[in-house]
Amino acid sequence: MRRICVFNLVSLDGYIADQNGDMSWAHRQDAEWHEFVTGNARGEGTLLFGRITYEMMASWWPTPQAIQSMPAVARWMNHAPKLVVSKTLKQASWNNTTVIRGDLRTEVARIKQEPGPDLVIFGSATVIAQLAGEGLIDEYQVVVNPIVLGKGKSMFEDIKHRLSLKLTRTRVFGNGNVLLCYEPLK
C-alpha cells in the first residue's frame, strides 16, 4: 500500500503562502538547509498537486534558472511522476504528469492501493484538507519558518474535523527552520 506524505513550509503563524499567494519568504537558504532539500530530492515518489500549485511548480522547475540554482531538486521535480487534481485543466504539459478529473477521495484511495512509490503533496491546501478529512494522509512533514505573516493561506483552513497527530521526529536547522513530522493517531 502506498503512503501519502505532506511536505510544506509554513510561517510561524501557520500559513503556507501569504495573502497574495507569495511564498518567497519560505526560501531561507544556508548550506545545511540546501543539503537537506537536495537530499530529499533524491528520494522516490509520485508528486500530487492541486491545479494552482501544479501551475506554479510547472512554471518554475523546468526553467534554466531552477535547473541552475537547484539542479538535484529540479532533476527530481522534472522527472518524477506527477498527478494533478483539476476539473478545469485541459492538459498537463509538464513532463510525466497525469490529470485526475474524478472524485479526489475516490481516485486517491484507489491509487493508494496500487503498487508504486509513495505520494508526496506540496502546497495544495484544498487537496490536503479533503484527503486529511478522509484519513488518507499518512504523514505530515511541516517546516516552520521563523516569520509571522499575519494573514495568508493555511493548509488546514478547510478541515472539517479535528485531526489528532503524534509527533514522530524533529530537526532544527541553523537558518531557524524547524522540521516537525507527525502521523495521524489511529
pLDDT in tens, 144-166: 999 999 999 999 888 888 899 99
Give the architecture-level CATH label for domain 4-21+44-160.
3-Layer(aba) Sandwich (3.40)
Q: What is the pLDDT of residue 41?
A: 67
In the chain, where the domains are located: 4-21+44-160
- Tell me the whole-structure pTM to 2 decimals: 0.91
d(CA 81, CA 142): 22
CB within 8 Å of 15: residues ≥ 6 apart: 149, 151, 152, 153, 154
Q: Mean pLDDT of all residues in the chain? A: 91
Q: What is the pLDDT of residue 133?
A: 87
pLDDT in tens, 114-127: 999 999 998 899 99
d(CA 75, CA 40): 12
Residue 17 backbone zone (phi > 0: left; psi -120 to 50: alpha; other: beta): beta
Q: What is the pLDDT of residue 24?
A: 85
User: Which among 62, 72, 82, 60 is positioned nearest to 35, based on CA atoms?
Assistant: 72
pLDDT in tens, 34-83: 788 777 766 678 999 999 999 999 999 999 999 998 898 899 999 999 99
- Written as one string, the DSSP assignment of the chain is ---EEEEEEEETTS-SEETTS--GGG----HHHHHHHHHHTTS--EEEEEHHHHHHHHHHTTSHHHHHHSHHHHHHHHHS-EEEE-SS-----STTEEEE-S-HHHHHHHHHHSSS--EEE-S-HHHHHHHHHTT---EEEEEEES---SSEE-TTTT--S---EEEEEEEE-TTS-EEEEEEE--
Proportion of the chain above pLDDT 70, given as a percent: 98
All three cell numbers of 76 = 527530481
